[in-house]
Amino acid sequence: MAFALVALLGFSHFHLTHAVSCRDADTTSGLVKGFVNETFPNVAQYLGIPFAEPPIGARRWLPALPKSKEHGVIDATRFGPACPQYRADATLAPNAYNVDVLQFSPEPLSLQSEDCLSLSIWAPRKAAADQSLPVIIWLYGGGYGEGGANVPYQNPAPWVERGGKHIVVSVNYRLAVFGFPNAAGLPLEGQNLGMLDQRLAVEWVRDNIANFGGDPHRITLSGQSSGAMSADHYNFAYPNDPIVSGFIFHSGTATLDFLFPDFQHTNFTYVAQHFGCSNSTATAELDCLRTINSSAIISFLETYSNTGSSPTLAFVPVVDNRTLFSNHTARALAGNFSRKPALIGNTADEGNSFVLPYNASFGPARSDADATTVGLFMCPTIQTSHDRYAANATTFRYLYAGNFSNVSPRWWLGAYHSSDLPMVFGTYSIARGNGTAFQKDVSEKMQDYWLAFAQDPVGGLPALGWESYEGGKGEGVMFGKDEVVEQKIGEARLDAPCDGLMSNGLPPPPR
């Protein structure tokens, strides 16, 4: 895989013409110069702002340090590189994301570097420094192994352009073996480096967002899939100092079991041994692998994965009792989380894009896809909703059921995992056609609700007729089903797929 750092002025899908500079913003990292372009003339874009010192060399596999203030001006007119990663080869290991909808991957994927800890900000162009707009911080998904701020379907410029009432910040955090090494030479509390990166970014936003017109007291932490899981883990990790005022979880919560126990650290050692780092001590093993180029490590992992080698090498978060706990229901019922309001939901066909082997013509086996949708995604959402209700924490539930051919190009994809994101970000028209008037209506309705939550996590949605979760007795909101933009859906119906599987002792919802 090539790792050349190429100049990228925004996404190619959002071609920038006659870009002009906008108001400079002073930050703890330095003076930041962004830009405005003709495509989104009402959006000030500040891309690739470093929030941490580069985690390279001897600082590879150590917690990141806050970025020291630079002299001069930081050029924020280009995305910073994504953190080292790879995408499964479409020939050797095809799936929906590398064959049908590449818009969920960073573009270009070759723009990578270990020096990747940056964030990007999209703010209304005319926002005054003291305007105090609500802020949404975005954590991308990708199984803790993929993602970045430069993902086309997750570019919030269309959303900010349309409303002009909020700010979005997208955070790059370390991934795979660089973010979650599970190495014997590291202390337990230093294994989940990607999650520590996320906290450092939130602190940077708290300290600097006012200079972009944002309100540091109205920050919503949002994410999808592993990004949503990360946001909920954050919810438990910082119960007394969450900084944020609310959470949005797309298709993932802390109760989604995404652990691959490797107590003997064999995965990291396997990689080290491949590069000749078979040293007598765990510290020597770590120091040796620090000398290996990051692109070589990623290339090895890419080849190993694409050829189906065994055993599987997984680099994901571990239970460290600092950033990730194992007993979330017990902790929730004891009130050991931030208790901030949350907007939680799923797509109706989460599993359609996951079940393998990939078959472009016929899709996945229906029973396997449905089992994945329910067991891997819906049940954790329901469990989290029950836990939060028992702890008297405000929660709003949604289900996305839209099926639009420009986002779901195969007949069998439906409302698959991630398909709600182009609707919220307003990017559904960047590939395979502009979409329909109905699709536009669904997108804008979702955007309006998400904004209302960010503006007031407690009262914003009830003011629009969307009441908080009532333990199975109330109603959530479903989007895009049967040519209806939005409709109420009973919580009992939302919970029904997992009746009898919950572990918190709450009575089953009424019929």
Q: What does DSSP say about strands 246-250 and 214-224: parallel, antiparallel, or unpaired? A: parallel
Beta bridge partners of 49: 119
In which element (H, E) is residue 26 found?
Answer: strand 25-27
Fill in the amino acid letter for 480.
G
Please state, in angstroms and rounded to a whole number, the distance separating the CA atoms of residues 286 and 185.
Answer: 6
User: Would you call 417 a catalytic residue per the annotation?
Assistant: yes
Please state, in angstroms and rounded to a whole number, the distance separating the CA atoms of residues 399 and 417.
Answer: 12
Name the active-site residue from 222, 417, 418, 475: 417
Beta bridge partners of 121: 46, 169
Please state, in angstroms and rounded to a whole number, the distance separating the CA atoms of residues 311 and 101.
Answer: 28
Name the active-site residue from 146, 285, 350, 486: 350
Which pLDDT score, from 0 to 100, does residue 57 have? 96
Q: What does DSSP say about strands 475-479 and 395-400: parallel, antiparallel, or unpaired? A: parallel
Domains of the chain: 20-261+317-498 (3.40.50.1820)
Residues 6+ away with beta carbon under 8 Å from 173: 83, 117, 139, 179, 194, 195, 197, 198, 201
Ramachandran region of residue 265, left (φ > 0), alpha (ψ -120 to 50) or beta? left
Does residue 487 sit in helix, strand or coil? strand
Please state, in angstroms and rounded to a whole number, the distance separating the CA atoms of residues 372 and 351.
Answer: 5
Instruction: Specify the pTM.
Output: 0.94
Which pLDDT score, from 0 to 100, does residue 18 have? 55
What the block records as the tokens of 412 is 């069998």
Angle at which helices 266-274 and 294-306 pack, to 10 degrees? 110
Degrees, nearest 5: CA angle 404-467-237: 85
User: Would you call 53 a catalytic residue per the annotation?
Assistant: no
Please state, in angstroms and rounded to a whole number, the distance separating the CA atoms of residues 492 and 472.
Answer: 5
What the block records as the tokens of 160 is 């900010």
pLDDT per 10-residue tile (average), the chain, 511 residues: 33 50 90 96 97 97 96 94 95 95 92 97 83 95 97 98 96 98 96 98 98 97 98 98 98 94 95 92 96 97 93 95 95 97 98 96 96 96 97 98 98 98 98 96 98 98 97 96 97 90 40 25
What the block records as the tokens of 335 is 């009130």
Which pLDDT score, from 0 to 100, does residue 207 have? 98
Based on DSSP, count helices (H) and strands (E) in the chain, helices before strands: 14, 15
Name the active-site residue from 29, 105, 225, 230: 225
User: Would you call 338 a catalytic residue per the annotation?
Assistant: no
Which pLDDT score, from 0 to 100, does residue 128 have? 64
